[in-house]
Amino acid sequence: LVSVMGVYSESEAFKRFRSWVALQRCSVGRNDDKQWKYYDFGPREAVPLVCIPGVTGTAESFYKQLVSLGPKGYRVISVQAPAYSTHKQWVKGFDRFLDSINADKVHLLGTTLGGYLAQCYIQYRPHRVLSLILSNSFCDITHFVDNAMFQGLFPWMPGFVLKRMLLSNFPQGTLEEEIANSVDFMVERLESLSQLELSSRMALNCSPGPLHPEDLPISSDRITVIDTMDEVALPDRLREEVLKFYPNCRRALMKSGGNFPFLARSEEFNMYVEVHLRHMKYELEPQPNLAGASIPEQSGTMSRNSSSNNIPSLSQQTSPSKSSSSSSSSQS
């Protein structure tokens, strides 16, 4: 599906990430048969922000958050879960993973399926989660259950067929440069996933889930929702439902960023993450000066979700990025 390395994979920022942050592994389960992969960057004494990717993501997906926020004194952990066949197994495995790395309290950041699983975990272990950031995510999985084709056949389908099914949801044709680069990078991440990983993730995304967002045991003012205004794969109805279930959440509305704003618009995305953590009274730990690590800050505001008319768009805060065209490699 991908024959050459994309722009992000060849970038100085990604090379810096590779040289600074080691990929770690942690085995959990009764027989240590489930291996979590993760990157952990920042002061060990700080409460970590744990980033959970969506169906197509890996632990590398949040590299721009690691190299930007880590040197500023935030501890950022980006995870890649092993194959779990049910949501209940996933949340129990995640709980054991946090036990293994001695993370008693965490802030969670989840995108798409990762955001749904983060909410499931809060329902399972509410005392452990201090706050939540959702990006292009959802609360109700019914849409995917109702529209899933071949749901019961995922475990027996070849990996290349599963990949093509997922790629059909990626944007096609000519895209703005940074969005095209983010798609290329995520296609590369998708290529690295095994058939077992893909089938289990697709099963989680298309199976009835245990989440009851109306009763989520966390105050909605401890939740930030980061959405984009441009075209994304997730139906608008599902994103609007998140705001309905969490009426007092803080919402950051970005003018653009596509399906992967944490990559395509990482400066703005990271700014909103920092605003959220500061609102949560995050205690920064001094870090050594690592040249070139941090992404420059820019001005911006975040609003309460009490009225959509008061939600600022990115165009009101910063100038739009320079547009150019690039052909996405998500076309098979």
Q: Decide: residue 320, CB within 10 A, 0-12 exposed, 13-18 middle, 19+ buried.
A: exposed
* pLDDT for 116: 97
Could you read off the pLDDT of 244-292 as tens digits, one per residue? 999 999 999 999 999 999 999 999 999 999 999 999 988 876 665 554 4
Cα 271-120-25 angle, rounded to 5 deg: 70
What is the reported pLDDT for 151?
Answer: 65
> Taking the CB of residue 159, how many other CB atoms lie within 10 A of it?
15
Cα–Cα distance between 328 and 285 in angstroms, integer?
40
Q: Which residue has the tokens 């958050």?
A: 65
50 pairs with which residues across the strands?
77, 108
- 3-state SS, residue 160: helix
Q: Are strands 174-176 and 325-327 parallel, antiparallel or unpaired?
A: antiparallel
pLDDT tens digits along 286-323 = 665 554 444 443 334 454 553 333 333 323 233 333 33
What is the distance between the alpha carbons of residues 332 and 329, in angstroms, rounded to a whole number?
A: 7
Predicted confidence at residue 248, as pLDDT, reads 93
C-alpha distances in angstroms, 315 versus 19, 93, 225, 297? 35, 41, 18, 16
pLDDT (0 to 100) of residue 284: 78
Q: pLDDT tens for residues 59-114?
A: 999 999 999 999 999 999 999 999 998 999 999 999 999 999 999 999 999 999 99
As a whole number of angstroms, the distance between CA 188 and CA 9 comes to 9
Bridge partners, 224 (sequence order) = 133, 250
What pLDDT was estimated at residue 287? Answer: 63
Q: pLDDT higher for 145 or 86?
A: 86
- This prediction has a pTM of 0.83
pLDDT at residue number 324: 36
CA–CA separation, 135 vs 203, rounded Å? 21
**Among 34-38, 134-138, 175-179, the least confident range:** 175-179
CA–CA dist 118, 91 (Å, integer)? 8
Predicted confidence (pLDDT) per residue in 12-45, tens digit: 889 989 999 999 999 998 777 899 999 999 999 9
Q: Which of 211, 191, 283, 200 is nearest to 6 (CA)?
A: 191
Three-class SS of residue 5? coil
